[in-house]
Amino acid sequence: MSDSKIIFIAGHARLPQGMAAKSVFDTLTITAEVDRKYGVIIEASCTLATEHGRNYIGQLLRGVSLKDGIEEPLQMLQEHYKGKGANALTAALNDLHFHYEQIAKNAYNR
């Protein structure tokens, strides 16, 4: 499995009060299957309360290359997601990108 071309990464953030997902989770998580070589998100999901919200975030992030930085996906998120969890999603996406950079840096240093 260590030779897999796909890595699984998670980013986490605290949820604001008053969100439906807050009754189930204390944190919001974005998970992504990422192509190891190109940094492209193949599939993504999150712990928003509704299936519709989870699917929307997955579609929004699919095809984004984390190798190209985090600015474009953050801008897409800010422009297209207008729910209460926008700040938590932004923080979770930043955290996911941080973990991706750590993995990429470690792979580069081998």
Domain ranges of the chain: 6-103
- Residue 103 CB partners (closer than 8 Å, separation 6+): 7, 9
Residue 58 pLDDT:
97
Residue 57 pLDDT:
96
Residue 20 pLDDT:
54
Residue 52 pLDDT:
95
What's this model's pTM, rounded to 2 decimal places?
0.85
Would you give per-residue pLDDT tens digits along the chain (110 residues)?
445 899 999 999 987 766 554 545 578 999 999 999 999 999 999 998 899 999 999 999 999 999 999 999 999 999 999 988 899 999 999 999 999 999 988 876 65
| Cβ proximity of 18 and 42 under 8 Å | no
- Residue carrying the six token digits 């290359």: 65
Q: At what angle do helices 71-80 and 51-61 cross, to 10 degrees?
A: 140
Residue 15 pLDDT:
77
Residue 1 pLDDT:
44
Assign domain 6-103 to its CATH architecture. Answer: 2-Layer Sandwich (3.30)
